[in-house]
Amino acid sequence: MAWRSLDEAKLAGARALVRVDFNVPMSEGRVADDTRLLAALPTIRRLRGAGAKVALLAHFERPKGKRVPELSLRPVAARLAELLGAPVAFVDDCVGEPVRAAFEAAKPGDVLLLENVRFHGGEEANDAAFARELAANSDLYVNDAFSAAHRAHASTEAVAHLVPSYCGEAMARELKALEAALGKPDRPVLGIVGGSKVSTKLDLLDNLVTKLDMLAIGGGMANTFLFADGVDVGGSLCEKEMADTARQIHAKAAKSNCELLLPLDVVVAQEVKPGATSNLRDLGEIGADEKILDAGPRTVERLVAAMDRAKTLIWNGPLGVFEVPPFDAATNAAARHAAELARANKLIAVAGGGDTVAALNHAGVAGDLTFVSTAGGAFLEWMEGKTLPGVAALQH
């Protein structure tokens, strides 16, 4: 796939409308986590350096088309200015005269932060008239919010068709990583999918077994696959009603020559709490009152061997209840091995999804993988093989 990059844009003197994701955690009126602000800096700096006037467009929470003062983006401007090392002027709306006047007063290289785009009902409705209002005050549009690209909203999709539109630096980095993992990957490709329920990741599993060479299934969803294979999982989390679906996915994997890696041994306990008494069990030895809470060492050993064979890894979801030690052992061991291979340039390792990022941070290796996506829903939909409206709108 080819996306229009900023290399193709005429930036000097242009009014650039830039869609960013500033839906950040706030605490007492201040930004509590500035990860998403930091992600936008390369695009902002590039545009400023080329002499563009930059207007940042973002949503915050769910005001449902109404002006809700406590959901204003105004507090974000101060923190962004600190990170950027330059003033950021706040504009009290994202369309109309306030934006026109702010651009008029701005000099090349100036940065504006526009008010919450979701204060307008036309945003989530992907309304054409509202998109025209957004486009009216700009010469070009840049989408740098991959995390919002799975939504067909006016600021992510409709506006991209009205003015010359380009991919921002963070968006380009994300797309390049995902293309390397699933588009045209170096083979063999290994996938790791964890999490609690098969039912929430059906589309994902269904797509991946046709794209991967090996797929390791962990977390609670592995219990459903084991149950479908006739293993007694005791008191473990298990969607027994999904057993037929698990068998169908298993059959589809076999037909697609995708090796399915299910747990060989498991760590069990009677309750989920830190330092709980745990035991290692082979399959077939799980007691009626025992819960499977992590993968065992033989399972990890086989997964590590699969990583050693693989050229590409794509990871979504932990292998156990990593938030509660000692049930973080398998996820930690797998994450650290993936990081070691990635650091040695022996593996392209791409991971994403909220729990996955938390698990990699917990293991202390999030910075060592080839790419870690914080995009959540958009990352998952990409892995499911779905077209993302915000990305499609930027294609040649």
- The pairing of strands 53-57 and 214-217 is unpaired
- Comparing CA positions, the residue from 378, 373, 348 lying closest to residue 35 is 373
Task: Write phi, then psi, for 189 (nearest 5 degrees).
Answer: -110, 130
Tally of CB atoms within 10 A around 12 = 9
Query: Which of 132, 176, 197, 252 is flagged as catalytic?
Result: 197
Known catalytic residue: 10?
no
Q: Which residues pair with 395 in a beta bridge?
A: 3
Q: List the structure tokens of 235.
A: 């008191």
Known catalytic residue: 291?
no
Quickly tell me which residue has 């930004």 as its tokens: 31
Query: Which of 65, 121, 354, 385 is flagged as catalytic?
Result: 354
Query: Which of 15, 36, 48, 201 is flagged as catalytic?
Result: 36
Known catalytic residue: 354?
yes
* Distance of alpha carbon 286 from alpha carbon 271, whole angstroms: 14
CA atoms within 13 A on the CB side of 200: 13
Query: Which of 65, 109, 235, 377 is flagged as catalytic?
Result: 377
- Comparing CA positions, the residue from 76, 71, 70 lying closest to residue 56 is 76
Decide: 72 and 198 in contact? Cβ < 8 Å.
no
Active site residues: 36, 197, 354, 377
